[in-house]
Chain A
Amino acid sequence: MATSLPFLGYGLGLRNEYYEQILEQSPAVDWFEVISENYLVQGGKALYYLDAIAERYPLVMHGVSLSIGGPHALDFDYLKQIKQLAERIQPAWVSDHLCWSRGNAHQLHDLLPLPYTEESLYYVAGRVRQVQDVLQRPLVLENVSSYVRAKADEFCEWEFLNALAHLSGCQLLLDVNNVYVSARNHGFDPWTFICNLPPQSIRQLHLAGHRDYGDYVVDTHDHPVCDPVWALYQQTLAHIGPVSTLLERDDHFPPFQELLDELTKARQLGASALAGRALCA
């Protein structure tokens, strides 16, 4: 069950806007998630703060450019750098996204959706195993938000994630906001998605804000978490038990205290969802 995976508690995405405050105030954040690519450099401020923060807080590495489903060969040089960074900061785990971000020739720098077909499944599962062989640890993959779907889909997204975890041994980073965004955009029930995932594979949750355009929703990470996502989050915890939870903010950075307050909310709502679960058990 999920409880057998390490529970880090409630964390924040580490962003350079907050480096100094983190070191000065030692805020009550249980752990930080770092964007791996920001630290694949040879020196400078980012690495300096990373090392200092790594001494005080547990870290998790979250990549954005593995392109596990891309049409190109896997970039083993990149993987080597990821592995070296992992040796340096000893993250609790290493994650990226179930997507592709690089085309045949060029980097596209976006988390692009895959068709959920048998062809994709075996292709991605094979690549996950190669990555895990290099990193010598399970890869954790996040569900992405999407704005189009392929007509060729043979599975729905949660069936694909289930099969992928089963075939490759990867674990899942369940982004609750991304489920909500994709559910609105594609017209499926977000709870059906979540309750059909294998609970024992869910290593981490993401919470974030989005922009609601009425007819559709765009995953922007520049707003506080919205009420339906909080509700989905509580339902998720009540269903699977304690899971390390991370609050993401990537734009329109508020004063640090506002993020800490939002993290406190995640903690309180999480605790009450878990308490309700204990009562039912």
Chain B
Amino acid sequence: MRLTDWQLAFEAHLLNDAPAQDHGFAATLRGGPSLDVDTGLAIYHNAYRARLLDVLRHDFSAVRYWLGDDEFAALAGAYVRRYPSEHYSLRWLGERFATFILEHLAQEHGAPLAELARLEWAFTLAFDAPHGEPLTLADMAELPPQAWPGLQVAWVPSVQQLGCHFNSLAIWRAAKDNGDFPGSHAVEPAQTCLVWRHEQVCRYRTLEPAEASALTTMVTTGGCFAELCAQLAVTYAEGAPLQAVTWLKQWVQDGLLQYRAA
């Protein structure tokens, strides 16, 4: 048997649901004095599954908290069968877990569970995203008055924005606090939630609709500070610049923003 064929047979053994019944591959192996081939193969087979399950349990601890260990293990097993790992780093194993949940489960259970999985994944993305160059209040203080109207900002690279149609944050918090499951229900209207990293700590918060809309103007669509003030004038009249500065200060303190590249 050529090396490649032997390795493909080994791979097929690991990916099989149960240790292979077809002993063609086992016949190419030699056991030890008290470790037979089937036991040896089972050690590899179990280790493969256990390692992947461990990573998913860690990265999706709130989904596991909701489902319980057994149901989570079944879901995770189905996931790695459907989407075997393709990145050398296990850090990326869960990349398609939320998508898979939507494909795999009925809508009424799948939609809130997938949203929770997406929220947890957002934390993993924020955790090791590039640092960027977060603006500080000191930077703002040094900005000359004539530069304010044209000021343009962008998210720091770690910021993840999620639209939450369910009480996923409440479930996530209950999981972190090891509290009672709060039940799953829709929230109306949907909330915008930000997840990001500030000074090496992952943070999150939900946005009121007015603040979310201001961030869309200023950050997502790249409007300048003068445009934000003009938009706010509709609601806040002459108080618009003050409201704009208040929010901007908050966003800068939170470590959400950097200068928009020219």
Contact = CB atoms under 8 A, between A and B. Distances in A.
B28 A151 contact: yes
B129 A43 contact: yes
Interface in B1-17: 1-4, 6-8, 10-11, 14-15
Contacts of B33: 186-187
A155 interface: no
A117 B28 CA distance: 13
Nearest to B127: A44
B128 A41 contact: yes
B48 interface: yes
A120 B3 contact: yes
B103 to A, nearest CB: 19
29 contacts: A37-B88, A42-B129, A42-B130, A43-B130, A48-B200, A65-B88, A71-B8, A78-B88, A100-B7, A103-B11, A103-B14, A107-B84, A108-B11, A108-B85, A109-B48, A109-B51, A110-B44, A110-B48, A112-B7, A115-B3, A115-B6, A148-B30, A148-B44, A150-B29, A186-B32, A186-B35, A187-B33, A214-B34, A215-B39
Interface residues of A, number: 48
B252 interface: no
Contacts of A106: 11, 15, 84-86
Q: How large is the interface on B (under 10, 10 to 19, 20 to 34, 35 or more residues)?
A: 35 or more
B39, B43, B87, B130: residue with the most chain A Cβ atoms closer than 10 Å = B43
Interface string B25-48: 000111111110101110110011
A184 B48 CA distance: 22
B173 interface: no
B30 A123 contact: no
Interface string A79-111: 000000000000000000000101111111110
A75 B131 CA distance: 26
Contacts of A44: 127-129, 131, 197, 200
Contacts of B34: 214-216
Contacts of B52: 109
B44 to A, nearest CB: 6
A119 B3 contact: yes
Interface of B: 1-4, 6-8, 10-11, 14-15, 28-35, 37, 39-41, 43-44, 47-48, 51-52, 84-91, 127-132, 157-158, 197, 200
Contacts of A42: 128-130, 157
B128 A152 contact: no
A45 B84 CA distance: 28
Contacts of B88: 37, 65, 67, 75, 78, 102, 107
Interface in A149-204: 149-153, 184-187
Contact of A104 (B8, B39, B197): B8
A120 B37 CA distance: 21
Given A42-B128, A43-B158, A147-B41, 9 more contacts: A43-B129, A43-B132, A65-B89, A103-B7, A108-B48, A109-B52, A117-B3, A150-B6, A186-B33
